[in-house]
Structures are given as C-alpha cells and as structure tokens.
Chain A
Amino acid sequence: MPSDVDKVFKALADPGRRLLLDRLHAENGQTLGQLCQRMNMTRQAVTKHLKQLEEANLVATIWRGREKLHYLNPVPIHQIAERWIDKFERGRLRVIADLKRKLEGESDA
C-alpha cells in the first residue's frame, strides 16, 4: 500500500530526503536536474531518494511535455497530523513552537 504509514516514516527518517522535501516546499514542481543542483549528492542518489519519497506518496510526479516534474504531496503528513495531533492540542503546540523559534532564531533545522 503506497499510503502505508511505515513507508512515510521510513522516507522521512533520512536528512537527504527531508532536504529534498524542503527544496520542493521552497519551490514546487522541479525537475530531477533542478533538484540535483546545489545538492551534496550524486544524481543517482537523488533519483533513489525521490523514488522512495514517491512510493511513500510524499512526492507526486507528473509529466508535462518532456519534463517530469516533482511536487510535494502534503497528504501523508496531513494524515499523520490528524491522527496524532489533536485539534485542541494544536493551538498550544503552536505557541510552544513559536516560543522556541523566537528563542532559537528563525532556523527551521
């Protein structure tokens, strides 16, 4: 099952793959070539990571003309959030996250 939650957590358990997701979050709809730029990884490694992200449904690919474009698919992360982050907790967690961000500076990492 491609939407299997195990696949999602496995896919997220790698800093390189999370970086690829961050890059798509910054600019959605990139080609493999674009994603390889400024990555400290071989093209082969990026291809492999993207395949794993796609199998976990975290990345959606579509063909437009001769280009294969990669999009961040927020569905699995949304499902995880729905399952474990109760609606009532969300407000409190956001306050804590905001506080942490203010104290530690703006970095996402």
Chain B
Amino acid sequence: MPSSRFVYITYIRTTPAKLWQALIGPEFTRQYWVQTWQESQWKPGAPWKLMIPDGRVGDSGKVLEIEPQRKLVLSWRNEFKPELRNEGYSRATFELEQQGESVKLTVIHEIDKPDSKLIESVSGGWPLILASLKSLLETGKPLEETRHWPKGH
C-alpha cells in the first residue's frame, strides 16, 4: 500500500541517556518543542499524549514499542485539526544509536496512506524541532523559533 513518510537523520554530540531524557522529559521538550510536553507511563501499550501549552491535547496515541535509550515507537493521531484527525493513526519511530562521540538519531513519521496531510504537516515541523533539540543538547540553548507555541494554532 502506498504510504507517506518523513525520514530525518541527525548526529548529536551527546549520550544516548541524555538524548532519551530530552526526548521524553517535559522539562526538556518545553524548551525545544514549542512548549509542548508528553504525558505517558512510557510502557508498551500505555496511552500517549502530546499536550499543547493552552491545555489542549495536540496529538495522541499509544506506546507501541519502547526500549529506553534505543528505540521508541508511538502511534500518533492529530487531535486538534479535523482534516488531520480524520486520517487516523500514523506511526512515529525514534531510534538512537551511539556512533563515536555522537548519537545518531533517526526519526521516521509515516502513515499507510498516500499524500497524507498529517505527514506534510509534520514534515514542516520536525526539522525545526529536531534542529532545536540538537542545539539544546550541544550548546544548552534551543532555537529561538521553537521556544513558543505558534500563535493562532
């Protein structure tokens, strides 16, 4: 079946432990992921939510696979834009792999459906968020553009 997929690989000078904490820790995500944070028990099958600063649920799903410091797979549905929500569940995969003094981070966001609006939308957001994550871990500062939830969204 034709699918839509976003793929991104970046090398971050950090450790798998720190990167893992930055991916799931609310005190980190609030800094580089436009003030959002995730709520989950972080166990296989546990519900997962991405919370927007004004209290809305941005996206939700389940933890499909979790291997701390190595791999996280989430099912992921947008909750606040009807045309995206109607596409149903996508899948987001985060893989961490130590390579020398860096960690190779692979992010794949995909849905079993061609020309997905959700994948188009996240393809615009992920590069900025992930560049900001890298900046935060390497320099202690996230990118300015990702510090606040975009107005009117």
Give Cα distance in the complex from A75 to B107, angstroms: 12
- A103, CB-defined interface residue at 8 Å: no
Chain A neighbourhood of B104, CB < 8 A: 2
Residue of B nearest to A54 (CB): B9
A-B CB contacts (within 8 Å), total count: 37
Query: Which residues of A, 54-94, contact B by the 8 Å Cβ criterion?
Result: 57, 60, 62, 69, 71, 73-75, 78
Chain B neighbourhood of A71, CB < 8 A: 5, 7
Check if B7 sits within 8 Å of A73, measured CB to CB: yes
Check if B11 sits within 8 Å of A2, measured CB to CB: yes
Query: Which residues of B, 92-139, contact A by the 8 Å Cβ criterion?
Result: 99-100, 102, 104, 106, 108, 127, 131
Choice from B7, B100, B131 contacting A60 with Cβ under 8 Å: B7
For the complex, count residues of A whose C-beta is within 8 A of B: 14
Quick one: CB contact mask for B1-45 with A, threshold 8 Å, 1 for yes? 000010111110000000000000000000000000000000000
Chain B neighbourhood of A29, CB < 8 A: 5, 7
Check if B127 sits within 8 Å of A74, measured CB to CB: yes
Give Cα distance in the complex from A69 to B106, angstroms: 14
Give Cα distance in the complex from A66 to B47, angstroms: 31
Check if B100 sits within 8 Å of A73, measured CB to CB: no
Check if B100 sits within 8 Å of A57, measured CB to CB: no
Q: How large is the interface on B (under 10, 10 to 19, 20 to 34, 35 or more residues)?
A: 10 to 19
Check if B106 sits within 8 Å of A3, measured CB to CB: no
Give Cα distance in the complex from A60 to B9, angstroms: 7
Give Cα distance in the complex from A1 to B104, angstroms: 11
A3 and B7 contact, Cβ closer than 8 Å, known pairs A74-B127, A78-B131: no
Give Cα distance in the complex from A2 to B131, angstroms: 17
Check if A2 sits within 8 Å of B8, measured CB to CB: no
Chain B neighbourhood of A78, CB < 8 A: 127, 131
Check if B9 sits within 8 Å of A57, measured CB to CB: yes
